[in-house]
């Protein structure tokens, strides 16, 4: 079948040339997209087996290699190209030189190479393994096959891609930058480490619904959608908690889920509207046992990602092997303000502190909310070493248990590392009567127009009324953990981040 050719005004000059080549190949009966091509070795395997060859050495070993053409130099009777292989957990995308000479492939094949192949194309090359006169490990071709024609040009590989291009065209970023490929590999290593740590500790991995009738498990604005099959409104989940707790009610001793959650809120260097959370629940545990588990998770993840537990940051070196201090909210804030702050401190005094330190606040906020805001602005950014901030006011977490020694506090912590919250944990509330009271209070806030307040979830309350064991629970932001381990923003840690539409 002959395709129509001709200038397309929407294509660049380079794109038009590639489209014309594709059409010509089809006219000549040569497929521009092969179903399969010869491949006996990866580029990494060739380097591993024959990387010791000296300059000018040749072997009689014939291999077939394949990859993307990332460099090409066509000069008379001898053509050079560099193929870049795909990346794996073990390899970041090895490169290998191939050489096509008139004497080895013949005039027709050499001319076809020069006419058909562009940067970015995928090819297969069969030939002997040699080392060039300059000492470059190479495959001296006896034949070659076009595997896939690239219709868009590669980015300029010797120039750094701009951040916007990197995140909008991640596929190009992965081809161009080893750092982008390493980020994918490191994230995979961290995720695997977390799963292995939890598996070794007896946790079951489960999956819970993304589409939910009622949003809950956190204070966050949900994404709303509609299920046509049932003609009902639904939301995308804002947390993993409530269904994981249902599994605990059913008798699971330890469960976890690594899943995407969705919050219809701000997007910046440390927040995304969709992100990945780990949540885990431990029967017969509390905030202290779940904190110990979280510490092990983070340390093992650092081992897997970095091979060290020391992390250099602009704020100083973080030692994950050092003491993980517990810092109660009220005494720590008191130390920062130079005056004792307690749950009885009047809201007027807290407003004075906020004004004095230029901390913005809503005049309608109660004292507990102001305490949280003051702590977040004046203390949290300066907690560089791993710190469990604990003994929060109840407003912080409606799903946490009242503190065993102070009814004005709850048993909950936030894990702060590098001045940023990385995770949170609780002695979980399992009293269905108290839980109902707190959810009713939340639902009244929702009815009054608070888009972040949780709704009354009768199905969840019915499950709690069935009976749940004492438990500890935690949530760890996978993207925040990657930011800690790699030192980059959230858009770099997420392979395909959500972006504002653009060119």
Mean pLDDT, to the nearest integer, of 285-313? 97
- Burial label for 45, CB within 10 Å (0-12, 13-18, 19+), is middle
Element (H, E) at 185: helix 178-200
Q: How far is CA 337 from the centre of its chain?
A: 37
Quote the crossing angle between the two packed helices 178-200 and 287-306, to the nearest 10°. Answer: 140
Using alpha carbons, list the distances in angstroms from residue 144 to 32, 280, 475. Answer: 13, 52, 52
> How many whole angstroms separate alpha carbon 291 and alpha carbon 355?
35
| 268: pLDDT strictly greater than 90 | no
**The two three-digit tokens of residue 462, written as one number:** 């019915």
| 127-184 pLDDT per residue, tens | 999 999 999 999 999 999 999 999 999 988 777 778 788 888 999 999 999 999 999 9
- Contact criterion met (CB below 8 Å) for 480 and 270: yes
Scored b (16 or more CB within 10 A) or e, 327-342 reads bbbbebbeebbeeebe
| 366-378 pLDDT per residue, tens | 999 999 999 999 9
**The two three-digit tokens of residue 393, written as one number:** 């006011």
Position 349 scores a pLDDT of 97
**The two three-digit tokens of residue 143, written as one number:** 């034949």
> Strand 204-205 and strand 254-262: pairing?
parallel
SS (HEC) of 36-98: CCCCCCCHHHHHHHHCCCCCCCEEEEEEEEEEEEEEEEEECCEEEEEEECCCCCCCCCCEEEE
Position 501 scores a pLDDT of 84
Position 1 scores a pLDDT of 43
pLDDT band at 503 (very low <50, low <70, confident <90, very high): low
- Contact criterion met (CB below 8 Å) for 266 and 498: no
> How many whole angstroms separate alpha carbon 503 and alpha carbon 485?
31
Element (H, E) at 262: strand 254-262
Using alpha carbons, list the distances in angstroms from residue 230 to 211, 226, 233, 262, 417. Answer: 13, 9, 9, 22, 44
| 99-122 pLDDT per residue, tens | 999 999 999 999 999 999 999 999
What are 9's strand-pairing partners?
none
pLDDT band at 359 (very low <50, low <70, confident <90, very high): very high
- Contact criterion met (CB below 8 Å) for 336 and 379: yes
Which residues of 284-409 form beta strands (DSSP E)?
310-313, 316-319, 325-328, 387-392
The sign one gets for the Cα dihedral 421, 318, 267, 280 is: negative
| 193-248 pLDDT per residue, tens | 999 999 999 999 999 999 999 888 888 899 999 999 999 999 999 999 999 999 99
- Contact criterion met (CB below 8 Å) for 460 and 245: yes
Question: Nearest 10 degrees: CA dihedral of 112, 115, 118, 123?
Answer: -10
SS (HEC) of 293-311: HHHHHHHHHHHHHHCCCEE
How much of the chain is helix, strand and coil, in % rounded to 5? 35, 25, 40
- Burial label for 321, CB within 10 Å (0-12, 13-18, 19+), is exposed
Place of tokens 């009271």: 437
Position 72 scores a pLDDT of 97
- Contact criterion met (CB below 8 Å) for 443 and 456: yes
| 413-449 pLDDT per residue, tens | 999 999 999 999 999 999 999 999 988 988 888 888 8
Q: What is the DSSP string of 112-163?
A: HHHHH--TT-EEEEEEEEEE-TTS-EEEEEEEEEEEE--SSPPP-TTSPPPH
Position 2 scores a pLDDT of 45
> How many whole angstroms separate alpha carbon 173 and alpha carbon 165?
8
| 289-298 pLDDT per residue, tens | 999 999 999 9
Position 6 scores a pLDDT of 61
> Strand 254-262 and strand 420-427: pairing?
unpaired
pLDDT band at 460 (very low <50, low <70, confident <90, very high): very high
> How many whole angstroms separate alpha carbon 463 and alpha carbon 87?
46
Position 498 scores a pLDDT of 86
- Contact criterion met (CB below 8 Å) for 100 and 79: yes
Through-space distance between the first and last CA atoms of the chain, rounded to whole angstroms: 34
Mean pLDDT, to the nearest integer, of 42-47? 97
| 177-207 pLDDT per residue, tens | 999 999 999 999 999 999 999 999 999 999 9
Using alpha carbons, list the distances in angstroms from residue 233 to 131, 213, 214, 228, 458. Answer: 65, 7, 9, 9, 17
> How many whole angstroms separate alpha carbon 301 and alpha carbon 297?
6
């Amino acid at each position: 079948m002959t395709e129509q050719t001709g200038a397309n005004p929407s294509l660049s000059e380079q794109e038009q040339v590639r489209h014309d080549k594709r059409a010509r190949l089809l006219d000549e009966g040569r497929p521009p997209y092969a179903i399969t091509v010869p491949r006996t070795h990866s580029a990494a395997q060739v380097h591993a087996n024959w990387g010791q060859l000296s300059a000018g050495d040749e072997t009689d070993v014939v291999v077939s290699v394949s990859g993307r053409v990332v460099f090409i130099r066509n000069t008379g009777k001898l053509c050079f190209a560099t193929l870049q292989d795909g990346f794996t957990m073990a390899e970041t995308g090895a490169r290998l030189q191939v050489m096509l000479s008139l004497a080895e492939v013949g005039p027709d094949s050499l001319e076809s190479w020069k006419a058909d192949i562009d940067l970015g194309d995928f090819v297969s090359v069969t030939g002997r393994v040699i080392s060039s006169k300059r000492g470059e490990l190479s495959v001296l071709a006896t034949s070659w096959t076009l595997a896939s024609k690239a219709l868009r040009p590669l980015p300029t590989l010797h120039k750094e891609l701009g951040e916007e291009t990197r995140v909008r065209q991640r596929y190009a970023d992965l081809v161009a930058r080893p750092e982008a490929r390493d980020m994918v590999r490191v994230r995979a290593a961290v995720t695997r480490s977390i799963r292995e740590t939890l598996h070794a500790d007896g946790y079951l991995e489960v999956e819970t619904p993304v589409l939910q009738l009622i949003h809950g498990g956190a204070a966050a604005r949900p994404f709303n959608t509609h299920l046509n099959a049932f003609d009902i409104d639904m939301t995308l989940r804002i947390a993993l908690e409530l269904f994981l707790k249902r599994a605990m009610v059913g008798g699971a001793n330890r469960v976890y889920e690594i899943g995407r959650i969705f919050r219809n809120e701000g997007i910046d260097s440390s927040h995304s509207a969709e992100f990945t959370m780990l949540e885990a629940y431990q029967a017969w545990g509390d905030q202290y046992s779940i904190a110990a588990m979280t510490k092990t998770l983070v340390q093992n993840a650092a081992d897997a990602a970095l091979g060290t537990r020391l992390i250099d940051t602009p704020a100083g070196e973080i030692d994950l092997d050092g003491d993980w201090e517990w810092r109660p909210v009220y005494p720590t804030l008191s130390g920062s303000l130079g005056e004792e702050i307690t749950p009885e401190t009047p809201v007027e005094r807290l407003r004075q502190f906020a004004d004095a330190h230029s901390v913005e606040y809503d005049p309608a906020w109660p004292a507990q909310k102001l305490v949280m805001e003051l702590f977040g602005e004046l203390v949290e950014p300066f907690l560089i070493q791993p710190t469990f901030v604990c003994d929060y006011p109840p407003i912080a977490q409606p799903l946490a248990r009242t503190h065993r020694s102070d009814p004005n506090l709850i048993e909950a912590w936030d894990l702060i590392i590098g001045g940023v919250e990385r995770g949170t944990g609780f002695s979980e509330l399992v009293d269905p009567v108290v839980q109902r009271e707190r959810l009713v209070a939340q639902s009244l806030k929702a009815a009054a127009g608070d888009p972040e307040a949780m709704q009354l979830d009768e199905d969840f309350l019915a499950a709690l009324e069935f009976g749940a064991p004492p438990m500890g629970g935690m949530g760890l932001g996978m993207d925040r953990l990657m930011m800690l381990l790699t030192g980059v923003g959230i858009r770099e840690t997420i392979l395909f981040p959500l972006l504002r539409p653009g060119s």
